[in-house]
Amino acid sequence: MSQYVSRLGRRSPAAPSRLRIPGTHRRPRRVAMLSVHTSPLHQPGTGDAGGMNVYIVELAKRLAAINIEVEIFTRATTGALPPSVQLAPGVLVRHVDAGPYEGLAKEELPAQLCAFTHGVMQAWAGHRPGYYDLVHSHYWLSGHVGWLAAERWGVPLVHAMHTMAKVKNAALAEGDTPEPAARVIGETQIVRAADRLIANTSEEADELVRHYEADAGKVAVVHPGVNLDRFRPADGRAAARHRLGLPQDALIPLFAGRIQPLKAPDVLLRAVAVLLDERPALRSNIVVPIVGGPSGSGLAKPEGLQKLAARLGIADVVRFQPPVGQDQLADWFRAASVLVMPSYSESFGLVAIEAQAAGTPVLAASVGGLPVAVRDETTGFLVSGHEPAHYARVLRDFADHPQLVDRMGQAAARHAQSFGWDTAASATADVYTAAMHDFRGSHRHVRSHHG
């Protein structure tokens, strides 16, 4: 029998999913996805909601489209929420009661993991055995719940870090708070427990091996996607500027994201101040939109950025906008001359791909996944470090050569086409299939030894 299994184990992944012969490659029918600290129903750019929310929603929808049902477990943040919400055909969001609904910071959530796990187990108890084929957890808090759930249900655990404490702590913004030791320990445990780890880029895969001693054979690289129907050049820059009440011929460097030291919106403001010192005449022809809300350690000083703009003497050209829905965000991208991402750490930088898909070049720090997202000197520019003068120099190039915006924008839109969510979902499904195959093999091996 073992010979038969090992021979079948080498069959191609295209083996028909109807076959249940031990050793064939079968896709999961239903996946339990865990997102403890941020709901896929929340508005990205508010609180702790950001790229990970977008990632989970889009991935779940595309997996459902290829017949993998997804149930997303997330923490209930208001008492008015129904126990479950149908997000899309084949995608169910389950709200779990764990701790007080409001006013609970991400740092306080480890104390609620037991309550959250209890809620997940209660939902599972109402189903027949084998209801979930696999657990896919997002971020380390979910990983701890996933670890226990996968063990209890006898299924593989696939985990996506999204960000890592050791990587963030190695590139902290000045005055920012380091990630706690408890998170580092927690992440190390999950890396050991997971059957597969999904990394956004090969650099993130290397970091998992280097910082957390991950087994390289368990790490799979899957680039996140972008919703190419929503983020596209559409009717162009001029029309988007008209809709948003922005001047047609201005230089518009845009920041879009959560306002916190990690994302470094202050670097953009300081760069604009340097630029206007050098080119005072530009003041009448520049608008700097900051689209997003305070988050994380940025909540300690929610007005900090406005005060900085005033101190730098550029408050007249900076326009603060609260977080907007995805469709309006696409319009802000189209309207901008360039998206500026001076982040200290970025596991991928989904916003960079979204802006490029909308036809806008990107000026970004050369960190994390941004060198994958942005093709330097073709779809935008990568800058080493966070020196405002270096960003000012690139902004000056865009001011002096307006044709750069259109030329790079067209290249950016072409580049983004290779980052569709269908590709990401298909690659993720392959990771699931491999995890299930290896999991069944290892458990058969254990049983035969104890037989």
List the binding residues for Mg(2+).
333-334, 336, 360
d(CA 187, CA 429): 23
d(CA 385, CA 374): 16
SS3 letters for 5-51?
Answer: HHHHCCCCCCCCCCCCCCCCCCCCCEEEEEECCCCCCCCCCCCCCCH
Do residues 114 and 60 touch, judged by C-beta distance below 8 A? no
List the binding residues.
37, 43-44, 48-53, 106, 139, 163, 183, 258, 263, 324, 333-334, 336, 346, 354, 360
What's at 290, amino acid-wise? I
List the binding residues for 1D-myo-inositol 3-phosphate.
37, 48-53, 106, 139, 163, 183
Do residues 75 and 96 touch, judged by C-beta distance below 8 A? yes
Residue 235: HSE in the Cβ half-sphere, 13 Å Cα cutoff = 7
* Best CA proximity match to 59, nearest among 84, 83, 38, 33: 33
Residue 303 CB partners (closer than 8 Å, separation 6+): none
- Render 298-365 in DSSP notation, one character per residue: GGGSTTHHHHHHHHTT-TTTEEEE----HHHHHHHHHH-SEEEE--S--SS-HHHHHHHHTT--EEEE
d(CA 229, CA 263): 27
d(CA 181, CA 202): 25
Strand runs labelled E in 89-241: 91-96, 134-138, 157-160, 196-199, 219-221
* Best CA proximity match to 94, nearest among 64, 131, 112, 121: 121
List the binding residues for UDP-N-acetyl-alpha-D-glucosamine.
43-44, 51, 258, 263, 324, 346, 354
